[in-house]
Amino acid sequence: MTKKEFKELASVHMYGKRSNGMIAIYYDWKQGEIDGNIFVGFKYAIFTRQGNITQVKLLKLFYELIFEVSEVDLPYYVTFVKVSDINRFKVPITSNGLNHLDNIYNEAENHY
């Protein structure tokens, strides 16, 4: 997948005001069924405070985390969430929901 295609398929959301607000990007929305379990939602999310990084840089980092083979150094102020198909999530309405995503889905083996 090219970066241009990725940018078109990614869902960018802004929460709050500029420097104090949050920016979140979601990717890979699907719905379906696996072994009788219905799933719906996104598989990947990345978020941070808007004052820390630009949307363009965050989108580039997100692309590298998902598609690049080499290991990516994630800045301390950026949170990346990756889940299985069964655990897909919907977009939170508020930035508090982002912290909830991190707490629920980022167990030790999924935290980058």
Average predicted confidence (pLDDT) for the chain: 84
Tokens of 11: 């869902």
Cβ neighbours, 10 Å, residue 54: 11
Query: Is a pLDDT exceeding 60 seen at residue 85?
Result: yes
Amino acid at position 8, single letter: E
Instruction: Give the model's confidence band at 13: pLDDT under 50 very low, under 70 low, under 90 confident, else very high.
Output: very high
Domain ranges in the chain?
A: 3-105
* Chain segment 27-71, per-residue pLDDT in tens: 999 998 888 888 899 999 999 987 788 889 999 999 999 998 778
Question: DSSP of 64-81, one letter per residue?
Answer: HHHH-SS-----TT-EEE
Query: Is a pLDDT exceeding 50 seen at residue 111?
Result: no
Sign of the torsion angle spanned by Cα atoms 9, 10, 15, 20:
negative
Distance (Å, whole) CA 88 – CA 83: 6
Q: What is the pTM of this model?
A: 0.84
pLDDT > 70 in the chain, percent:
90
